[in-house]
Amino acid sequence: MQEMTLDKVKRFAEQNKMIPENSMIIAGVSGGNDSMTMLHLLKSLQAGWNFGLRVVHVNHGIRGEEAERDQKVVEDICRQWEIPCSSYCYDVPQLSEKWKLGTEETGRIVRRKAFKAEKKKCGQQECVCRIALAHNKNDLAETMLHHLARGTGLRGLCSLKPVNGEVIRPLLCLERKEIDEYIKECGIPGILDSTNLEDEYTRNRIRRHILPMMEQEINTKAIEHMAETSRILTEAEEFLTEEAQALVQRYRETDGSYCLKEDFFYKKEILKSYGVRVILETLSGQRRDLSQIHIRQTLELYLCQVSKRIDLPYGLEAVRSYDGVCIRKKFCRKSSEMASPKEEFALPLSQGTVETSYGRFEIKIFPCSGEKILEKKYTKWFDCDKIRCSLSVRTRKSGDYLVIGKGGESKKLTRCMIDDRVPKESREQIPLIADGEEIVWIVGGRISERYKITSCTRNILEITYQGGTRK
């Protein structure tokens, strides 16, 4: 049995490329049967493989004397087997209260801290580090059932992977009964964590009641089949994520935001969901607290009216724009709004350059001699003699209007911007050339019909916008 188990774990580690040559394996050892078996197997593999081995034990400060006993057992066995061991002690109940987190979440955080500290000791620059955790097939099945009940989606059903970044799980090919047989045959000291016998935790209830019932009354190979299903789901999850990453790159803007255009919303539902998830994770740098609800709300935004927005975790927002749905960091919008100055600058009818907080404007005046009218987005020609007052540069005000018809018909500036599909959040930032309340030019957009060049024009006013100077 001992040799069979060792060979099984060896093949599993080789298939999944768990242990690079000359790497350092940092094994998380609690003192229970699973972690003690893992440590023994890793020590046995060292004989033929070239890797270092260290142990990290975390005392959570929860179970009093029992926790002290566990620490001593782990330290004693490491001395006996000549494996370097570091014990890290934390007062998890106190930290849990301080951080306003549950004890389970706090426990996960301190364990990550312990492994990080141990990696520092190893000197990561000198070798590749891998963190070995003792999860087995039963743990995988428990996790699947737990996540299935919570509705975590496809990712949750394949969360325990043989290799996940620097984390390796050498025992994921073994069931708990195989581990119990191995530890008994090898005479390895194992400790029972009394909290595993309590039904207070959901995972314990699944372990103690649901899984045994499934094996006894549904299928004796239920755990094995769930492990195989998890492997298939992992492949599907990885494929969909890669496809979604390639897809959303088409919609990435130069400022780092994403604008999902109409064609995106004709894709298959699952690809759209994964695409939005990839975007949210990319922009936030996080995975936690990003749920299917946020993805669904973002997708449903496409059916809403323009300018409708929703708040998302980690300072993100999604906005319905004219082009589709824009997903971005909130501060991008807010900082631009704050930067929008409300000053008004005179624009004299004379040759030269005018510097404003809205940008630089170059002015030229020259006689009209039948030239072809210049058609550029940021350079416009106007009939100089039709200007009644001195021009000014500013942003929009109440009462602003634009002449849109040759007969003098006018339209409110706001309505013009809506018709031109100017995003609501951008309307306050667009510089305007104004003649009193009458808008001469929406910079970058349309100009007033009243000031256009005609056959009667004698003098041309050329205005060129040369970009912003705002900090």
Q: List the alpha helices (DSSP H) in 82-133.
A: 92-99, 103-122
Q: What is the DSSP pairing of strand 167-168 with strand 163-164?
A: antiparallel
For position 19, what pLDDT does the model report?
94
For residue 281, report the phi and psi dihedrals to the nearest 5 degrees: -70, -35
For position 467, what pLDDT does the model report?
64
Spatial separation of the C-alpha atoms in residues 264 and 318, rounded to whole Å: 15
For position 194, what pLDDT does the model report?
64
Spatial separation of the C-alpha atoms in residues 413 and 320, rounded to whole Å: 21
CB atoms within 10 A of CB 389: 9
Give the chain's largest Cα–Cα span: 106
The parts of the chain modelled with pLDDT lower than 70 are 124-126, 193-201, 331-342, 389, 467-471
Spatial separation of the C-alpha atoms in residues 467 and 241, rounded to whole Å: 39
List the 379-383 sheet strands across, edge first.
352-356, 359-367, 459-465, 379-383
For position 55, what pLDDT does the model report?
96
Report which of 74, 50, 22, 302 is spatially closest to residue 193, judged by C-alpha positions.
74
Report which of 298, 331, 299 is spatially closest to residue 314, judged by C-alpha positions.
331
Spatial separation of the C-alpha atoms in residues 199 and 106, rounded to whole Å: 20
Angle at 332 between CA 299 and CA 243, to 5 degrees: 40
List, for residues 200-221, the tens digit of each pLDDT value. 667 788 888 899 999 999 999 9
For position 197, what pLDDT does the model report?
64
Whole-Å CA distances, 409 to 205, 359, 434, 454 = 75, 30, 17, 17
For the residues of 197-251, what is the DSSP string, one character each? G-SSSHHHHIIIIIHHHHHHHT-TTHHHHHHHHHHHHHHHHHHHHHHHHHHHGGG
For 451, the 3-state DSSP assignment is helix
For position 90, what pLDDT does the model report?
94
Domain ranges of the chain: 2-231, 252-336, 341-465
Whether the pTM exceeds 0.85: the reply is no
CATH topology of domain 252-336: 3.30.465
Q: What is the DSSP pairing of strand 316-320 with strand 379-383?
A: unpaired
Q: List the alpha helices (DSSP H) in 19-124.
A: 33-45, 65-81, 92-99, 103-122
Which residue, chain included where needed, has tokens 């001195």?
Answer: 390
List, for residues 388-422, the tens digit of each pLDDT value. 767 999 998 888 999 998 888 999 998 998 888 88
Spatial separation of the C-alpha atoms in residues 247 and 242, rounded to whole Å: 9
Spatial separation of the C-alpha atoms in residues 129 and 309, rounded to whole Å: 44
Q: What residues form DSSP beta bridges with 258?
A: 252, 327
Spatial separation of the C-alpha atoms in residues 452 and 441, rounded to whole Å: 10
Spatial separation of the C-alpha atoms in residues 1 and 7, rounded to whole Å: 10
Spatial separation of the C-alpha atoms in residues 454 and 460, rounded to whole Å: 10
Architecture per CATH, 2-231: 3-Layer(aba) Sandwich (3.40)
Q: What is the DSSP pairing of strand 324-329 with strand 129-132?
A: unpaired
Q: Which two tokens stand for residue 149?
A: 């009940």
List, for residues 236-265, the tens digit of each pLDDT value. 999 999 999 999 999 998 888 999 999 999
CB 27 within 8 A of CB 168: no
